Amino acid sequence: MGTATTTKRRPLHATAPAAAKAPLWPDAMLQSVTTGKTRLSLKKGVPLYSQGEPADAVFFIESGKVRLSVLSKGGREAILGVLTPGEFCGEGCLTGQPLRLGTAAAMIPTVAIRVQKAVLVRALHEQHPLSESFLIQLLARNIAFEEDMCDQLFNHSEKRLARALLKLARFGEEPANLRGHAITPKISQEALAEMIGTTRSRVNFFMNKFRRLGLIDYNGEVHVHPELLTDIVLSD
């Protein structure tokens, strides 16, 4: 570790991890879809769909959290992201994707609305508000994926971990409590290592460092403080 330096802190909103406010899909946008729609109540760990299954529907998250992951031929799992209420998954079927390229599974008890591909395609053609909101979220997700790619290519593992913690805590989207922005449900250091492309030992090292510096607090549940953004993510 080198000599500590003082960095000029920038406004927290300036370059916080991008996260567009998701539209309230289930109630506001899907009421007019009366056929080919099913509401699913899923327990923790139950998949909405699994890798290799036929891709024939899109799922809109009404409540809970969903983890997107992909499994390599060698059996190694990579976590692609976490979805929250107002977001959707499985949209690859709309482009002719025959099979699921990954798995979407409930991280906590989750309610999702399953809309058949043909029904959704027709609704997107006929309902301008629905298609507009759908496009806005697709573009927002594409921007987030581009930022994740740049983060993976150009940032060191400490900064990648800090950014991942901020995103998981929904920084800038949900109000903080007295202990900071909580990450719920719990996420393991192994999962964090998979998300940012490093080892569990490196994640453990940086998590302990962040806690010593007062940037996070964890005792079972991780709480992220805004200072993590300015001290680590915006420090360069």
Question: In whole angstroms, what is the distance from residue 135 CA to residue 137 CA?
Answer: 5
- Residue 45 has φ and ψ, to the nearest 5°, of 90, -15
pLDDT at 18: 42
CA distance 235 to 103: 35
Q: How confident is the model at residue 70 (pLDDT cuts 50, 70, 90)?
A: very high
* Confidence band, pLDDT 50/70/90 cuts, at residue 75: confident
Summarize pLDDT for 94-127 with one digit per residue, the tens.
Answer: 999 999 999 999 999 999 999 999 999 999 999 8
Q: What's the confidence (pLDDT) of residue 176?
A: 63
Give the confidence band of 28 by pLDDT, cuts at 50, 70, 90. Answer: low
**Region of 214 on the Ramachandran plot (φ > 0 left; ψ -120 to 50 alpha; else beta):** left
CATH code of the domain made up of 156-233: 1.10.10.10
- Given a contact cutoff of 8 angstroms between Cβ atoms, the answer to whether 141 and 99 are in contact is no
| CATH T-level topology, domain 25-145 | Jelly Rolls (2.60.120)
Tell me the two tokens of residue 156. Answer: 């060191």
What is the location of CATH 1.10.10.10 in the chain?
156-233
Determine the pLDDT at residue 177: 65
The ranges of the chain annotated as CATH 2.60.120.10 are 25-145
Measure the CA dihedral 151/165/49/26, to 10°: -110
Specify the DSSP class assigned to residue 94. G
Nearest to 87 by CA among 16, 136, 35, 146: 136
- Provide the whole-model pTM: 0.70
Q: Are 180 and 229 in contact (CB under 8 A)?
A: no
Spacing of C-alpha 77 from chain mean position: 16
Mean pLDDT lowest among 61-65, 85-89, 165-169: 165-169
Q: What is the largest CA-CA distance in the chain?
A: 64
First to last CA, the chain: 16
Question: Two tokens at 64?
Answer: 């809970």
